[in-house]
Amino acid sequence: MQNLEELVSVMVRVPPKPKSSGGADLVSMVEDMVGFRHADRDQAPASKINPSGIPFDPNPSYSWQTSMYGSTTYPVPWPNVSMGASLDYSYYQPDNLAFVGNGEWQAWPLYGSSSDNGVTWTAFSSLPSEQLWSGGVQQLSTPVSGEIAMSSTNPLNIVWAPAWGTFDGVNTSGATAPWPHYTTDGGKTWALCKLANPPAQPNPYDPQNNNDTHYDALPKSWAIGISPYVTSNIVSADRNDPNGKTFYYWDNTFFYYSTDGGATWTTSAATGFPTNITSVTIASNPAVYGDVWFAFARNGCCGTADVNGNPLFHSTDGGKTFQTVAGVAICDKIAFGAGNSPQTPFLYILGRIAGATRDAIYKSEDGGQTWIRITNPDTQAMLNVAQMEGDMRTPNLLYLAVAGRGIWYGTLPASTPAAPAFSANAVTNGASFSDGLARGSVSSIFGANLAPQGTAASATFVPLPTSLSGVMVTVDSFPAPLWYVSPGQISFQIPWDAPLAGTSSIQVYNGLGVSDAVTVTLSPYAPGVFQYYPSASDIEGVITHSDYSLVTAAKPAVAAEEIVVWMTGFGDVAVIPDTGFESPLGASVTTLPTASLSGANVNVIYAGLTYGAIGLTQVQIQLPGTLPAGNPLSLQVTASGDASQVVPLWVKQP
């Protein structure tokens, strides 16, 4: 699979066997090639997963199998194009794994277990097949694919929820799938999972209706019944159960838990979950028994996902009750990984924390109380992530099964980077660096850790980017265009979507962490004159003659001349530009400002956004025929009562 084609990975698992003892980096499930044991995540595996002992598909069209292979079971290596759908391991005995899947051009299951950390695989001795009714005839249904979970302490205890079923190896469907089963002897025998408190027997009761005959059984799960190609983590073992008998399950309406190895299941009293979600994740905390997290991914793929996402659900009592997690707006995927101590694993989610507008992966080091963004949505699009898995041996190591784009992994520094920090009074007009903010204007943030140390980047194109070197600024959750980022200063445009007057919330993402939300006040006008520094002790305003050459001591303005003062901070204009784009023609200010020259009023001819520039306002002033005494003179522009800083204006006196 080295650059030969897209790899459609659907699941990754990281059994926590120490690397020093021969543990694999990870084990994967994929379409077409079943799956792989990745001894080294940076090297392509030499071979795929090859289960031995799988009986031939009984489809008469495949009768040639016997003569070709000379046996009643498929040979090793596995010869057919097939999919691995679900994989699990025994957390405290990580040499032991089990998987299920299906043939892609045949209606036949693929399955097996391993006792050597995934090096070799052997088919279960039997299958959770069932006699089911179809067309008035009872037939043996063989399970095809589905989801599987293995006890945390007893690898012989497995729960299998089949996706589809087949009577003849030819036709298969979810309607003919066996109901969920469990085994306590490693697949030698299987028994039907039952409800601890089943509903009353249907009345009337039809003994040839499969649903009636299974009224007391653990229901099938809707998601995996859609297709064997749908993978959804609807069943999970509790990773921290010392007895290894606790399992969790989701059918589409109710959450269930079992404390006897999957034999009987209790329906949780929890309600309020979304339904008809094709991909869910039940994640058990490896450090705390009964600590269960539940994520519902948005339906869809390739940019067509549901507009509205789902919250993250959390149970601390083994699934009896659930609460939504505060601060998480959308959670599509969730996983645990090694943390700073064995008692506090890191928690990873794919989605959006409160206030975010784009999907990213976040990490929590404190059980979901606070979150650190660890991916950049501008450069790392998290589309089609089928499943996530953290490494419980190595902190800050996360794997993603990305359908159609192979397997990704990410690592982070061992220590947590400092989050950006700034205060409201450190958000300034980007020209004067004084108080006063207006929508559409150039603004600056001064603070600490605004960008990773050693980072300084400037925009090089228009429209302005909303991310520079992984740094982002949001204003009321809108990504703000950026001119410049560094650890101590950011220059950005307040979006035109911000309110004309009122308050806005600003956050900074430095690519490794996120700041607290800081509330600032916006005004229709907050004028500031751009400045430059001819020398370290000299600050001049950007003022030009009508030919756009600078007014300086060497080239002063003269009486009755029209000058242009270059400013920002004018949010009330006739034509609203697109945020981050050049200003259009006709974007004059709604209320013409006034100006004073050393205390005397002067005539303002025009004020408006500069065509082709971003956030830049030009204010044209007619100097009087008789200038006030002195040189330089003091110039100040005022708009609706808000005044700019005072800047020097060099003039030629008689």
Mean pLDDT for each 10-residue chunk of the chain (654 residues)? 67 94 95 95 92 91 85 91 96 96 88 97 97 93 96 97 90 91 98 97 96 98 91 96 95 98 98 95 96 93 61 98 96 95 93 89 94 85 89 95 88 70 97 96 97 88 88 90 96 97 93 86 98 92 96 96 98 97 96 96 97 98 96 97 97 92
Range of the domain at 635: 528-649
| 283 closest CA partner among 310, 312, 305 | 312
Domain end (from 491, 523, 555):
523
396 lies in a domain?
no
Segment holding 34, helix H or strand E: strand 33-38
- Residues 504, 541, single domain; the answer is no
- Residues 325, 368, single domain; the answer is yes
- Residues 166, 121, single domain; the answer is yes
- Residues 174, 142, single domain; the answer is yes
Domain end (from 330, 348, 381):
381
CA torsion 575→578→582→583, rounded to 10°? 10
CATH classification of the domain holding 56: 2.130.10.10
- pTM listed for this prediction: 0.66
- Residues 444, 551, single domain; the answer is no
Strands 82-90 and 33-38, by their bridges, are parallel
Supply the pLDDT for residue 302: 37
Q: CA 221 → CA 42, 207, 279, distances in Å?
A: 36, 22, 11
The end-to-end CA distance of the chain, in Å, is 83
Supply the pLDDT for residue 509: 85
| 392 closest CA partner among 313, 297, 495, 287 | 287
| Contact between 37 and 12 (Cβ < 8 Å) | no
Strand partners of residue 402: 385
| Contact between 309 and 351 (Cβ < 8 Å) | yes
- Residues 514, 544, single domain; the answer is no
400 lies in a domain?
no
Q: Is 381 exposed, middle or buried (0-12, 13-18, 19+ CB in 10 A)?
A: middle
CATH classification of the domain holding 509: 2.60.40.10
What residue type is assigned to position 342 of the chain? P
71 lies in a domain?
yes
405 lies in a domain?
no
What residue type is assigned to position 225 of the chain? G
CA torsion 563→566→571→576, rounded to 10°? 90
**Phi-psi group of 25: left, alpha or beta (phi > 0 → left; psi -120 to 50 → alpha; rest → beta):** alpha
- Residues 308, 208, single domain; the answer is yes
CATH classification of the domain holding 619: 2.60.40
Supply the pLDDT for residue 75: 93
- Residues 505, 533, single domain; the answer is no
354 lies in a domain?
yes
Segment holding 388, helix H or strand E: strand 385-390
- Residues 137, 268, single domain; the answer is yes
- Residues 85, 165, single domain; the answer is yes
Peptide bond into 632 cis (omega under 30): yes
- The pLDDT > 90 percentage for the chain reads 81
Domains in the chain, number = 3
Determine the Cα–Cα distance for residues 291 and 107; give it in Å rounded to an integer: 38
| Contact between 531 and 542 (Cβ < 8 Å) | yes
Supply the pLDDT for residue 654: 84
Determine the Cα–Cα distance for residues 295 and 310; give it in Å rounded to an integer: 8
What are the φ/ψ torsions at residue 133 (nearest 5 degrees)? Answer: -90, 140
Supply the pLDDT for residue 227: 87
Q: How many CB atoms lie within 10 A of CB 543?
A: 23
42 lies in a domain?
yes
| Contact between 371 and 416 (Cβ < 8 Å) | no
